[in-house]
Amino acid sequence: MTLKVLGVESTAHTFGVSVVGFSGGKFEKPSPENTRVLSNIVDKYPSSAQGYIPRKLADHHSKSFKRLFANALEVAGVRSCELDAVAYSFGPGIGHCLHVGFVAAQSLSEFLEIPLIPVNHALAHVEITRFFCGACNPLVVYVSGGNSQIMALDAGRYRVFGETLDIGVGNLLDQVGRFLELDPPDALGVERLALKGTKLLPLPYSVKGMSFAFSGLLTALKKMRLETVEDKADACFSLQETAFSMLVEASERCLCHSRNSEVVLCGGNARSNRLKEMFSLMADEQGARFCVATHEFNGDNPGMIALTGLLMLRVGAVPAEKAPQQRIRIDSVKIGW
């Protein structure tokens, strides 16, 4: 391997360390043929009905770093002195969590005397999917707990054409999962129960141009009388069909304007089978290739941070500003690769 980059992910309840290796020549670009995720070690703070307390997440992360770091090196078969750079999640995310990842990465970078690369977390979700699917210039639909955005590359940046006007689609599904006390109490719980639903219940459908709003669905669902398992199953089915149709409609409208030949679905909710099915159908109808990563690289994972760090390092695009930022947006990053 000619280059080895360590990545630290720490934006929320998932904390992880990864090593990505690049074996191409001096003038070669990283590609799926010459680049491998050598390790992708993740530790999740367990979800609870009450949500998360940032201080507790930070405590968990700081106690886990040494173990995850050692494990990531061992699985990758790499010694710390062989690392060429350290990348970390710069934001957006929860301040307490970001800070732990930053301090760990900064200490390593100083100790090993190697570059420290701040990586935008949203960009990393996009780049790992784009990279391993071989997508050149896709329409990107980024769906996760905190974000739901439709974007495409234009003049060296991802421009956001449409996005949620309130909560992310993942946050909607997770809140419903907790409210209905599903197992697990999140989007996966909703997806599993939705398979048993048969009736499409009326729920607010809110698309405004290429943007959309989800909180009305949550309010409407909380007001329903859902007593039996059948009622809950119908509610989950209707919730998914309505929220996902909103995402597909807005994305299809955008695609009709932008005419990108690929559609990338990324972020934790790109794991949803029903969402993948709906996007794949829409892309097909529009003559675009549908791209989605494997499960491992859809949710928050350190591999995407290490990979994006590698891409930035190869083109010398390592920002001077290092302190993490909770609210940084994807369009603030200049894409030079």
Ligand X SMILES: Nc1ncnc2c1ncn2[C@@H]1O[C@H](COP(=O)(O)OP(=O)(O)OP(=O)(O)O)[C@@H](O)[C@H]1O
- Three-class SS of residue 256? helix
Q: Lay out the site mask for ligand X across 149-188 (x = CB under 6 A, - = otherwise).
A: -------------------x-x--xx-----------xxx
For residues 10 and 206, which CB has a smaller minimum distance to Mg ion in the complex?
A: 10
Q: Let me know how long the chain is.
A: 337
Q: How far is the CB of 110 from ligand X (least distance, A)?
A: 27
Identified binder of ligand X from the candidate list 4, 60, 61, 121, rule CB under 6 A? 121
Q: How far is the CB of 259 from ligand X (least distance, A)?
A: 27
Is the previous residue joined to 92 through a cis bond, with omega within 30 degrees of 0?
Answer: yes
Dist. CA 175–CA 218, nearest whole Å: 8
Q: Lay out the site mask for Mg ion across 106-145 (x = CB under 5 A, - = otherwise).
A: --------------------------------------x-
**What does the DSSP 8-state code read for residue 253?**
H
For residues 109 and 144, which CB has a smaller minimum distance to Mg ion in the complex?
A: 144
Q: What number of helices (H) and strands (E) belong to the chain?
A: 9, 12
Burial of 106: CB neighbours in 10 Å, binned 0-12, 13-18, 19+: middle
Q: How far is the CB of 298 from ligand X (least distance, A)?
A: 7
Write down the H helix ranges in 54-211.
54-76, 95-112, 121-133, 169-179, 187-194
Q: Is 267 a binder of ligand X (CB under 6 A)?
A: yes
Q: Is 299 a binder of ligand X (CB under 6 A)?
A: yes
**Residue 109 · residue 80 · CB < 8 Å:** no
Query: For residues 93, 82, 74 and 70, what is the CA-based torsion angle, rounded to 10 degrees?
Result: -50
Q: How far is the CB of 296 from ligand X (least distance, A)?
A: 11
Q: How far is the CB of 241 from ligand X (least distance, A)?
A: 15
For binding to Mg ion (CB under 5 A), which residues are involved? 144, 300
Question: Which residues lie near ligand X (CB under 6 A)?
Answer: 11-12, 93, 121, 125, 144-147, 168, 170, 173-174, 186-188, 191, 267-269, 271-272, 299-300
